[in-house]
Structure 1
């Protein structure tokens, strides 16, 4: 049975496209760099673009959905090539993207070449978040600045990740990403809490996983079993920096870089900051969390709210490191 396409990613039907000229049609280009980026975000991008295209009186002909890096010169992006081909072949006159860095991160030269192609064919590139329309005078310089900024962001990120990996190697630690099965994590230095406990062990810079090749049904059974009794919620405090995939975790609200609380319920794990900001972290699995629990004993609180207050993660100590 063919997999059903989400409504947000649906191409225009023959009935919707009947009688439409290229000037009436628009293609949407959506991109994510890695699978761990949630599809729900892309769906929201598509909804935002469809709403704007409806406002402009355009009909969506095709949605190009791609999982590729936009910064690496050697990476070929077939979906973007397809979208550009539709413009060059005169099938559409508008290509819409959610944000400039979703289109390209290779700098001014790359975006300039694309804009030249649009100009030659009297077509346009529309960017929703920056409200840019390449057919309007004066926008080319803005595109160039945003493209260069996107390229610099990638260079800065690459530098931070490389520096972090080199530092980990120098310290004799695993340099990042998922720790291989049976990899010894000897450099642990973390306080673990099971519904709160002050037992101290040595934490891994990255989290262990179940053996490669584990039966998917057994994996699902393991991850969905009760954590510690029906509906139990468990907590693990992490006073030091936490790196996932070699990239340090940082709170988007208060910019904190350490002193976290990891919260497990069922198969999900959340990260919580002292400022009370909390988010689901798909990079940390139930198995990862269990591997960090050194003792089944700890204080138990009647509600999650009381536990968070007792641990100092209810917002009272926002902007403060207690460990």
Structure 2
């Protein structure tokens, strides 16, 4: 299957540059995957769309302030570095610019020498492996000197007082290099109302890394290789999901990261979810048979992206692209800070 089949034209003004307030005031498109019909609502109307007994699965990963600006030691070369994946012993896989100037043996200096990154190798995806040197604890240092790693299509950084707007309200465990953006629309009040309605709410963990947002550069889908990301499912979540499926109740994933986590485990255990952790490089595109989810809440994704391919596997490519054209015509806001879609 050609990657070009998942292309579409998006006017630049449709790319959301800032988060809407309140969170649940964003638009919500309902896409029925049985017949491709579309409805237009607000995200807070999800309260009427979900049913008693549905299991809503969240990704509780928290975004690191992973974008750092420094200088190559001994030069005046400015460096941008994004922490992606910890490899143990203060070693990280990172993205760097300008990469061609940062070969193994180079050192990057941040925050007037409070943090050093020694380049010790390259990665399979064009990044670098670095070993960090610092005094004290890394987490508070990153909170002080790091910035939220917003995608490049968002042209202005969030001011510090709005940094939490790039976190879900239920984010807990730090480790993501980008937000699981489908969850940005939820408020504590909406989650409480859903629980009061009888919706079961549980969570899994997937630390968003290069696999989620790396562009597809191949011409054919089956030539693209996903980068592995860490996931974890706890026993309580597995039990809730399995019981719902046994009883014919719906499992609704909040985001493609939850979908990939659940489908990774289900595909390895004959459709059953078990308590597990590990690394997933699952790539879901049309032709895939879903085993773990019945519905998906998601944002609107970039042309030719693996995320657009995933939702096309669930709802059908033509139905998805038709829905996207309707969203453009109806002035929906696209990408990370944009509006949402519920595929049911």
Asked whether the two chains share a fold, i.e. TM above 0.5, the reply is no
Structure whose CA Rg is larger:
1
Which structure is richer in relative contact order (CA contacts within 8 A, separation 6 or more)? 2
**Hey, which of these two has a bigger chunk of strand by percent?**
2
